[in-house]
Structure 1
Amino acid sequence: MSHLTASYRPHPQSTRPLIVSKMLVGTSLLALAALAHDVLALPSAAQSPSAIRIRKSTATNTTGVFGPDSTIWAEDTPYFPVADYVAPPSNCEIDQVNILERHGARYPKKSPTKKIKSALKKLQKVTITETSMQFISNFTYDLGEDDLTPYGALQSYDAGVEAYQRYTSLVEANGLPFVRASSSQRVVDSAGNWTAGFAAASNSVYTPVLSVIISEDGNDTLNDGSCAALSDSDSPGDQEAAWIDIYTVNITDYLNAGAPGAGLDNTDTQYLIELCPFVTVANSERSEWCDLFSSLDAFPGFEYYGDLDKYYGTGWGQGDLGPAQGIGYTNELLARLTNTAVNDSTSTDTTLDSNPATFPLNRTFYADFTHDDLLIAVYSAMGLFPTPALNYSSPDDQETSAWRVSEMTPFAARMVVERMSCSDESGSGDGEYVRVLVNQAVQPMPSCGSDDNDLCALDAFVESQAFARNSGYGIWNECSD
């Protein structure tokens, strides 16, 4: 059996696209050969209900591919469908699809890597006496940094296969998906792996290419770095830090008791817990770190940390500047849905968006590749996942909250916006409609008067996006203040 490699590599005779200051147009990535791969059949650990929060998920894959708790690893969660895909009503026919997808599973970033190694060093310099922790003495940290893992590459490949199979009717030789990516290498590689999966699913009849790479050094609607006033940090904010000191206390005490003299603090514990998802997606098998922290019931608290991190990062907890970073993409989406020029003065690159070669209209299929923080900003700008302010001192009242990052932005998460033409057989009326799905779950859209099928009339959907259409009512101006 052959396996997809983490880095998307073209044939030696082809030209790998180089990231230029503005764009890369029309450079073909040679599709990876169709790959046969083993179905992961991994051990799962028995789980008990959390004393902090009993999970109430509607996910169809409730056990998760890496064990029952692998659906609550916050933004480090491997992709899983939150619901079964539901076809549109029989009187409706999809005529355009827009996919906004996060890159596949990656290794830790640079800053967390340093903190993980620091915490691990404290444990490995002392004698470990606790049986459940014995594996730590012989554990070797050998993870990469920033890049996709092989498992993450496979996630995007599989997403491309799924996209072709689901939306075959929208594809023809002169109507291939138009694909863009933000310029981080893991995002570019994810886009390439997606096109490879798409091509393989069609038996190489249809071979889409990555047409535009948007530099993260300038305006980029597929990255959350265009607002200078919004800090970008991998360190916990005030709310997240406060929650760490609540949920990790007993876990830290257990680790220190099992490794006398280690002197771990609560922040060390937070980064040690991250070893579970990162080692797991690096090796494509459940890590012993997961079994340790599962036995300590760490993951419900860890998940809520992720909820807070994204809510106060680029969600509404940040104030309006977080959602403002999703305005540019939302306005591009509206342009595609209505086949009109982009009307935006926020994070769009006007050179790209005014050029039909780099921002074509009248297409049936678009696929864009991005990061989780940008996905959160787009969700917020569009009014998805409404939630009361998260109470970082206790998640007990969040049982019914829609804000669950593990279901919003897992690795290889995807938001899909389907435009469809409907006849008047269901009472909705003839015309164009829109529905939004996140990880296959159809999203309620009361702001645009959605019907029982969560379909919004296209005109009503456009009107409902007033925050984006009005540049956040002036909020974007604060980005340069």
Structure 2
Amino acid sequence: MGYLKTLTTGLAAASVASAGNAPLHQGFQQKQFEQTFYDGYNLLKYTGGLGPYSDRQSYGIDRNPPAGCEVDQVFMLMRHGERYPDWFSAEPFVKVLDKMSHSKVKTWAGDLAFFKDWTYYVPDSNLYSQESTTGPYAGLLNGYHRGSEYRSRYGNLWDGKSIVPIFASGYERVIETARKFGEGFFGYNYSTNAAINIIPEDASWGANSLTPSCAADTGLLACYFQPRTSPQFEVAAHRFNSQNPGLKLNSTDIFALMEMAAFELNVRPSTPWMNAFTMDEWVAFGYIQDLQYYYCAGPGNPNQIAVGQVYANATLSLLVAGPKEGSMFWSFSHDANITPVVAALGIDIPDQHLPNNTIPFPHTYHVTDIVPMGGHLVLERLTCSATAISQPGHFVRAVINEAVVPWSSCQSGPGYSCPLSEYAALVKRIPHFDNVCKTPAAYPQHLSFFWDYNTTTAHNYQRGPIASQLAATDS
């Protein structure tokens, strides 16, 4: 309709100009393209790995397969959906809220005027760590939506009869996301044709895991909880304190409140805390999130690149074998188990390590582009006929949060895809998990559950306490 209107308006204007030499600018002419873009001002892009899902900005490459190609095999590694904070993450929130409630402020004013009527969004401590079920950003809704969308996109890869495994690491919110994805993808066939396989989150499973751990990273969890501050947080604290005499917030308090705000959106449709902070403050907060992931579980940590090799190597074996080994592999895990895979594949690698005393505008490592809540990495195997750019063959492309992300050193295939042989060489250059992380000899040395999986539907729905499903021994 828009194209028709533009065409009609243009033809009419041209006709008038031709008949009476009237200037072409007479009358309204609709622009073909917008000249303003606001993605950089969307606050979701600065909540790091804490806030609701958002698509990654496209590089202009069609999300659908290139002309002359079809997807014959797909792999997805998805983070659980939006959730409540963990109790240990929420402790600083509760501490600051208690500090504010017991301050000498009589009337809340300025950017915090809303505080007198605002209520904390975790009414029951049992909700900590759980997937969210309320609001438009709800985690379970995200999982179901992704499954439904991918049924439309990849449903042709399922024959409508076979039982398809779905792999989830053994954590409740991860399992719940996997289940909702399965319901969205299979619909009424979920109870009979999907098979949830629960892979234990236990170091003794070695490389046969969706959550492999590296003994060399002894302080990995502590890495995420190092003190975080920024000059912008000092500015925010001064502003709030000036507007509300008697309030004594510091930069650490500000960081906690911003984390709390990001989590609130996972539960509610909006939060006044987001607007309490300036754009500059959110940019600083987002960069601290980038630093955390980059050095703790990203390309700034060579041990974690080796951790990412586990999934990369297993999926490479299946890509080379092709769909005879299976056409769909749906896997679910945590944010810090996906960022190592992205790093191992050589995606989103800055030219230099991220500095911790300044923001290197522009920089290329944005964690909200990789693992927001519900973030997902997809690897597609393309089978292509001969095109003007390539011979017939097999190619690989990566999709992160619905944007096709080409490899800078391997993009000679259709749609900037990577020839499978070159992709294989890329993966084989990754440091090996066992060599770097010194997996004990008694632990599994490679990932095998993609081959040794169960087709039982016993774990498709919750029945009592969640227990890990042993990949090869359960009935």
Band the TM-score falls in, shorter-chain normalisation? 0.7 to 0.9
Cross-structure match for 1:56: none
Are the counterparts in 1 of residues 299 and 349 from structure 2 also a CA contact under 8 Å?
A: no
Matches within 5 A, 1:111-190: 111-126=88-103, 127=105, 128-143=107-122, 144-150=127-133, 151-175=138-162, 177-190=164-177
Instruction: Please state if 1:420 is matched with 2:397.
Output: no
Are the counterparts in 1 of residues 79 and 371 from structure 2 also a CA contact under 8 Å?
A: yes
Are the counterparts in 1 of residues 211 and 337 from structure 2 also a CA contact under 8 Å?
A: yes
Matches within 5 A, 1:20-419: 68-83=42-57, 85-126=62-103, 127=105, 128-143=107-122, 144-150=127-133, 151-175=138-162, 177-200=164-187, 204=189, 208-218=193-203, 219=205, 221-223=209-211, 225-227=213-215, 229-233=217-221, 236=224, 241=227, 244-283=229-268, 285-293=269-277, 295=278, 297-318=280-301, 320-339=302-321, 362-387=325-350, 388-395=352-359, 397-399=360-362, 401-419=363-381
Q: How far apart are 1:142 and its partner, in Å?
A: 4.0
**Where does structure 1 differ by over 6 angstroms across 4 or more consecutive aligned residues?**
none
What is the TM-score with the length of structure 2 in the denominator?
A: 0.75
Instruction: Evaluate the alpha carbon distance shift between residue 154 and residue 376 of structure 1 in structure 2; reply closer, same or farther with a 3 A threshold.
Output: same
Q: How far apart are 1:313 and its partner, in Å?
A: 0.9
Q: Secondary structure at the match of 2:289?
A: helix
Q: CA RMSD in A?
A: 2.8
Instruction: Tell me which amino acid in the other structure corresponds to 1:105.
Output: E
Cross-structure match for 2:455: none
Are the counterparts in 1 of residues 78 and 374 from structure 2 also a CA contact under 8 Å?
A: yes
Instruction: Tell me which amino acid in the other structure corresponds to 2:267.
Output: A
Identity, in percent, stands at: 25
Q: Structure 1, residues 354-400: CA drift from partner, whole Å, max 9, x if none? A: xxxxxx971111100011111111011111111021112111x331x
Q: 1:109 and 1:61 mapped to 2: Cα distance?
A: 35
Are the counterparts in 2 of residues 74 and 303 from structure 1 also a CA contact under 8 Å?
A: yes
Cross-structure match for 2:395: 433
Are the counterparts in 2 of residues 385 and 403 from structure 1 also a CA contact under 8 Å?
A: yes
Q: Structure 1, residues 432-459: CA drift from partner, whole Å, max 9, x if none? A: 1111111121112134454462211111
Instruction: Tell me which amino acid in the other structure corresponds to 2:71.
Output: I
Q: Secondary structure at the match of 1:74?
A: coil
Instruction: Evaluate the alpha carbon distance shift between residue 235 and residue 390 of structure 1 in structure 2; reply closer, same or farther with a 3 A threshold.
Output: closer
Are the counterparts in 2 of residues 98 and 367 from structure 1 also a CA contact under 8 Å?
A: yes
320-329 or 440-449, larger mean C-alpha shift? 440-449
Q: 1:328 and 1:233 mapped to 2: Cα distance?
A: 20
**Structure possessing the higher radius of gyration over alpha carbons:** 2
Instruction: Tell me which amino acid in the other structure corresponds to 1:131.
Output: G
What is the TM-score with the length of structure 1 in the denominator?
A: 0.74
Are the counterparts in 1 of residues 182 and 190 from structure 2 also a CA contact under 8 Å?
A: no
* Residue segments in structure 1 that go unaligned for 5+ positions in a row: 1-59, 341-359
Q: Number of residue pairs matched?
A: 389
Instruction: Evaluate the alpha carbon distance shift between residue 73 and residue 208 of structure 1 in structure 2; reply closer, same or farther with a 3 A threshold.
Output: farther
Q: 1:361 and 1:336 mapped to 2: Cα distance?
A: 9
Q: How far apart are 1:331 and its partner, in Å?
A: 1.4
* Residue segments in structure 2 that go unaligned for 5+ positions in a row: 1-35, 442-475
Q: Structure 1, residues 189-218: CA drift from partner, whole Å, max 9, x if none? A: 000010011123xx6489642431111123
